[in-house]
A and B are shown apart, each in its own frame.
Chain A
């Protein structure tokens, strides 16, 4: 039996096919969401079917999650990313207590007890502390986002970015560059500003180990290291952190009768 989970995020859409009998991921696909969440979900679903060598009729149930979850006509049900991320990480790290998920436009912290979500906190109506913040800054600095992590690791010292708002922070770094400030120190400051926001969310909800990070930003080792330093804990990362929501959705789809 196969189930599928589709996580339609603001930046990317992921689909995962789960081989329920053997309890393993059969295939997954990641694509950009673009302007139509419906089309993005369809494409991710078709890609992952192709990767698995299956047809849509082979899939017993589909659950959609993420901000575009309500707009997927071929899904059997939609469940929030809070429940799906929780279920997804538990399949990888069964004893987990805290999940930090940083996606394109949302960041959230989920507290788990016996594998179930018991509380959560999400960022407010603002892009600060999300993947979008890093993207905008990388564009403003004309540096590839993938370079942020190695720069963070090799650079000593940082420049504090005082603006919370993404738009104002962008102006602030443009001014700093204009003043001749070392770009590497600006990058280090930007990563710490995200870590500070997330740390405050984690502290509000209460830090309990083990901690795991999911979402596209978990691939950025700079952000992970800054968070580990601020929180004083080791953070676990799944092999493919970006598909955790879709994986959880695929697991939850098993319950659809």
Chain B
């Protein structure tokens, strides 16, 4: 049994915080971590794993750094500037799927009256909270941007930990206007001040500027990675950009995100240079898929089928760099602008416009919208997305499934849908 499987088996058997702390205490020690990390297939992947483990170790450690739960899309740059360790229950729910413990956490959430209709990222996270598997937070930050489940379930966590006064919901307005920007900037600033007051920390503007600069640097390299993907016909086997949520969201504002994307760029550039200069004819070229929303985070055949059918995920909408460069002299306003420019905010037209531009830029042949059970913000737009893509001759597969709960995954049906869709794409020349 390899080291990864031994880790999985250990956690499955001992699903409690004490065991996880003990494990992190062993694997997060520098020599071990870096040796373990070096077994990964690329330097970027090595750093991704090291940063993930270090970030978890910080969140689980009993040191004086406050921990804040956060949902996706909140301004992590601000938390890094304040020296607050972020911990993402939704990302951890993805880990529960990968580690094979989602059945336990989801079962626990059912026992605690979480509806089966709720998305399993939140059900699994809620179960882990109820089981005391996650570290105790000092603050909880979430937003109404895109996801409707986080704002409710995260508030329940604040009650569980008796920190209701340290729960913050960032209300992102529907319309993008000057007034919206002023309102959102004020909110982020007030939350920052309140966290300072409650944690006894002082806002160091030079640290804030440093975090903003790191965020800009990461943005620059992420754009370079995306640009190179516009011309790539093949990827290194380890590359799966649906896994890069930690560096793209949580590590924004640290040098770690910069390191990760810089290495990733170098590796893809090398890969591009090694690709045959003569392009395969249109028929032999891999079909380029645009992946919409997320993917199953447990072992599934979805991506193997793509590979077998000579297709690649040319781009994923979650890796779209949608925000303008941030201004280190106006950090709160910049972070507000970043949130307001998200393509999942406001009208569905914002998302569709982004999708249509990806189709043009990444020379897309077909799109797969993974319909994650219970995710209204994404699934609600399925029809209009499919119709918009149809208008420009791009077929779309609306693939029902579940990112976290393997019991909601139908192997045969998923395979037939994916394979059938790729057969349609391949029959088009």
- Name A residues whose Cβ lies closer than 8 Å to a Cβ of B: 67, 79-83, 106, 116-120, 122, 124-125
Could you jot down 20 A-B contacts, CB within 8 Å? A67-B412, A79-B423, A80-B416, A80-B420, A80-B423, A81-B416, A82-B420, A82-B423, A83-B423, A83-B424, A106-B413, A116-B424, A116-B427, A117-B420, A118-B395, A119-B395, A122-B413, A122-B416, A122-B417, A125-B410
Identity of the chain A residue whose Cβ is nearest the Cβ of B412 in the assembled complex: A67
User: When chains A and B are docked, how far (Å) is the Cα of A92 from the Cα of B96?
Assistant: 50
Identity of the chain A residue whose Cβ is nearest the Cβ of B383 in the assembled complex: A204
Taking A80-B423, A83-B427 as known contacts, 15 extra A-B pairs with beta carbons closer than 8 A to each other, sorted by chain A number, are A67-B412, A67-B416, A79-B423, A80-B420, A81-B420, A82-B416, A82-B423, A82-B424, A106-B416, A117-B423, A119-B424, A120-B420, A120-B421, A122-B413, A125-B410
Q: When A and B form their complex, what is the total count of cross-chain residue pairs whose Cβ atoms lie within 8 Å? A: 40
CB distance from B173 to the nearest CB of A (A): 33
CB distance from A212 to the nearest CB of B (A): 18
CB distance from A170 to the nearest CB of B (A): 22
User: When chains A and B are docked, how far (Å) is the Cα of A154 from the Cα of B383?
Assistant: 39
Identity of the chain A residue whose Cβ is nearest the Cβ of B400 in the assembled complex: A124
User: When chains A and B are docked, how far (Å) is the Cα of A67 from the Cα of B416?
Assistant: 8
CB distance from B140 to the nearest CB of A (A): 35
Kindly state whether residue B233 has any CB partner on chain A within 8 Å.
Answer: no
- Name B residues whose Cβ lies closer than 8 Å to a Cβ of A: 395, 400, 408, 410, 412-413, 416-417, 419-421, 423-424, 427
**Across the interface, which residues of B come within 8 angstroms of A79, CB to CB?**
423
User: When chains A and B are docked, how far (Å) is the Cα of A124 from the Cα of B408?
Assistant: 11
**Across the interface, which residues of A come within 8 angstroms of B410, CB to CB?**
125
User: Looking at A67, A80, A116, which has the most chain B CB atoms within 10 Å of its CB?
Assistant: A80
User: When chains A and B are docked, how far (Å) is the Cα of A120 from the Cα of B416?
Assistant: 11
| Secondary structure of the A contact surface, majority rule | mixed
Per CB-CB distance, the 7 closest pairs between chain A and chain B, nearest first, are A82-B420, A80-B420, A125-B410, A83-B423, A80-B419, A80-B416, A67-B412
CB distance from B204 to the nearest CB of A (A): 53
CB distance from A98 to the nearest CB of B (A): 15
Identity of the chain B residue whose Cβ is nearest the Cβ of A83 in the assembled complex: B423
User: When chains A and B are docked, how far (Å) is the Cα of A116 from the Cα of B413?
Assistant: 21
User: When chains A and B are docked, how far (Å) is the Cα of A67 from the Cα of B413?
Assistant: 8
**Across the interface, which residues of A come within 8 angstroms of B421, CB to CB?**
120
**Across the interface, which residues of A come within 8 angstroms of B419, CB to CB?**
80
User: When chains A and B are docked, how far (Å) is the Cα of A116 from the Cα of B232?
Assistant: 29
User: When chains A and B are docked, how far (Å) is the Cα of A79 from the Cα of B423?
Assistant: 8
CB distance from B142 to the nearest CB of A (A): 31
User: When chains A and B are docked, how far (Å) is the Cα of A187 from the Cα of B105?
Assistant: 43
With A116-B427, A118-B395, A119-B395 already in contact, the answer to whether A125 and B420 are too (CB < 8 A) is no
Q: Is the CB of A125 within 8 A of B423?
A: no
Q: Is the CB of A125 within 8 A of B395?
A: no
Q: Which of B400, B416, B417, B424 contacts A117 (CB 8 A)?
A: B424
**Across the interface, which residues of A come within 8 angstroms of B417, CB to CB?**
122
CB distance from B412 to the nearest CB of A (A): 5
User: When chains A and B are docked, how far (Å) is the Cα of A124 from the Cα of B402?
Assistant: 13
**Across the interface, which residues of B come within 8 angstroms of A116, CB to CB?**
424, 427
CB distance from A134 to the nearest CB of B (A): 20
**Across the interface, which residues of B come within 8 angstroms of A67, CB to CB?**
412, 416
Identity of the chain B residue whose Cβ is nearest the Cβ of A119 in the assembled complex: B395
**Across the interface, which residues of B come within 8 angstroms of A82, CB to CB?**
416, 420, 423-424
